């Protein structure tokens, strides 16, 4: 997902550098907007090095791209950390005095704010009134921690630890309100082993060409992150995915459908839940040339294709008692049926415990874009649906899996 991270002028800004690193390790794009005051604590070069993107503060930077509007419009979620007492007041009054405050006025994404300041400032009636107003407007507030502050002072007002900030951000992105649990997630998959396939297989045609698909692995990797956040031990079999995985998630890289089948067959033996989110080729070339095939003089060439192993069907047939198998169906709809009709037919044909159906196509479903899915049971009956960022959709899918296990 695309995270817009605002950093204001408090000494706790140094902690937020770790937040950027964690988000990047988890595969998210992060754009940092530091206020000018914050640069007294952490320099611009640090934010740019950690995020891999410019860290501008000036409203009039990159005017041709209307950046003060575009940054807010393109964000999936916004985090302001630390948020000073001054900046809370800026937000309440809707001021547009710098790049960050402009972006906040434009964005329609969920906004998470982590105040950090001295105890007296946090407890001041004006600050408390500003926090209450922001909450009424739908801003998610992460309560400050209590502990050592600047100098010898101690008390409420301390910025929570970086991991707590990240987990709260993920909670909001998935549609879960920030609560007493700082992670925002239950641990409903604690102790479980979850295997997830992601990406798209490539079937070689000759020494340089292959048959492939547009699957990027974003949804599969989001599922891995969601499962990990909820306590599972997660392994991903990744087919041609260039995205990074979060810390602590196992990874097996494969290229072809045959390699995918072998890896999944081995890794699924000990898995409690298997989620086949990868786009596995249905066919492969019957013959693979060791050399690059030259263009025929006629300008025409015929290929003979043979069916690849049906990995999902094999998992369903061989699943052990208590193991949950989840399939995916990326559909476009055609003259023979709608996306929903094709998905229902596949659910009945495959017999997986759950089948996640989504419509795909140019600019739809593939890549780092919002997704919309319907979850079907083994009889093809819709039992859940979700729309939003890949991470939000992933948590909705995990919700359905957890409910199935519980019942």
Distance, CA of 302 to CA of 54 (rounded, Å): 49
State the number of CA atoms in the 13 A half-sphere of 58 facing the CB: 6
State whether the Cα torsion 280-285-291-292 is positive or negative: negative
Strands 210-211 and 203-204: antiparallel
Active site residue 213: yes
Q: Which own/partner pairs from 152-157 qualify as long-range (CB within 8 Å, at least 24 positions apart)?
A: 153/118, 153/119, 155/118, 155/119, 156/119, 156/122, 156/123, 157/115, 157/116, 157/117, 157/118, 157/119, 157/121, 157/122
Helix axes 125-136, 85-92, angle to 10 degrees: 50
Distance, CA of 283 to CA of 215 (rounded, Å): 16
Give yes or no for a cis peptide into 398 (omega within 30° of 0).
no
Strands 203-204 and 283-285: unpaired
Catalytic residue among 62, 102, 130, 213: 213
DSSP letters for 110-168: -EEEEE---HHHHHSHHHHHHHHHHHHTTPEE-PPEEEE-STT-EEEEEPPPHHHHHHH
Catalytic residues: 213
């Amino acid at each position: 997902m695309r995270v817009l991270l605002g950093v204001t002028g408090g000494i706790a800004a140094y902690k937020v550098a770790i937040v950027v690193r964690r988000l990047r390790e988890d595969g998210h794009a992060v754009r940092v907007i530091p206020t000018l005051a914050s640069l007294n604590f952490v320099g611009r070069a640090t934010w740019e090095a950690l995020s891999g993107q410019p860290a501008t503060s000036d409203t009039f930077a990159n005017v041709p791209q209307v950046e003060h509007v575009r940054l807010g419009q393109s964000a999936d979620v916004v985090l302001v950390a630390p948020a000073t007492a001054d900046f809370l007041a800026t937000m309440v009054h809707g001021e547009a005095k710098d790049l960050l405050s402009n972006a906040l006025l434009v964005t329609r994404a969920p906004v998470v704010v982590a105040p950090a300041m001295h105890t007296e400032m946090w407890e001041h009636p004006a600050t408390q009134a500003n926090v209450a107003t922001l909450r009424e407007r739908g801003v998610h507030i992460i309560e400050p921690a209590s502990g050592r502050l600047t100098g010898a002072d101690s008390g409420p007002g301390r910025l929570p630890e970086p991991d707590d900030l990240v987990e709260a951000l993920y909670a909001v992105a998935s549609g879960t309100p920030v609560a007493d649990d700082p992670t925002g997630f239950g641990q409903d998959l604690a102790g479980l082993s979850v295997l997830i396939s992601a990406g798209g297989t490539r079937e070689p045609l000759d020494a340089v060409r292959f048959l492939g698909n547009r699957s990027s692995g974003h949804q599969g990797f989001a599922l891995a992150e969601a499962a990990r956040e909820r306590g599972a031990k997660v392994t991903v079999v990744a087919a041609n995915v260039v995205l990074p995985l979060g810390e602590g998630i196992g990874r097996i890289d494969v290229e072809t459908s045959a390699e995918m089948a072998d890896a999944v067959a081995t890794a699924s033996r000990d898995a409690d839940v298997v989620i086949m989110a990868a786009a596995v080729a249905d066919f492969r070339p019957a013959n693979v040339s060791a050399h690059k095939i030259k263009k025929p003089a006629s300008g025409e060439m015929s290929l003979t294709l043979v069916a690849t192993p049906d990995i999902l069907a094999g998992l369903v047939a061989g699943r052990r008692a208590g193991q949950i198998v989840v399939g995916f169906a990326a559909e476009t709809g055609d003259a023979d049926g709608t996306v929903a009709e094709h998905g229902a037919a596949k659910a009945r044909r495959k017999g997986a415990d759950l089948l996640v159906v989504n419509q795909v196509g140019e600019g739809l479903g593939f890549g780092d874009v919002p997704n919309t899915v319907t979850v079907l049971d083994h009889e093809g009956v819709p039992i859940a649906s979700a729309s939003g960022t890949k991470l939000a959709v992933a948590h909705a899918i995990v919700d359905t899996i957890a409910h199935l296990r519980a019942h």
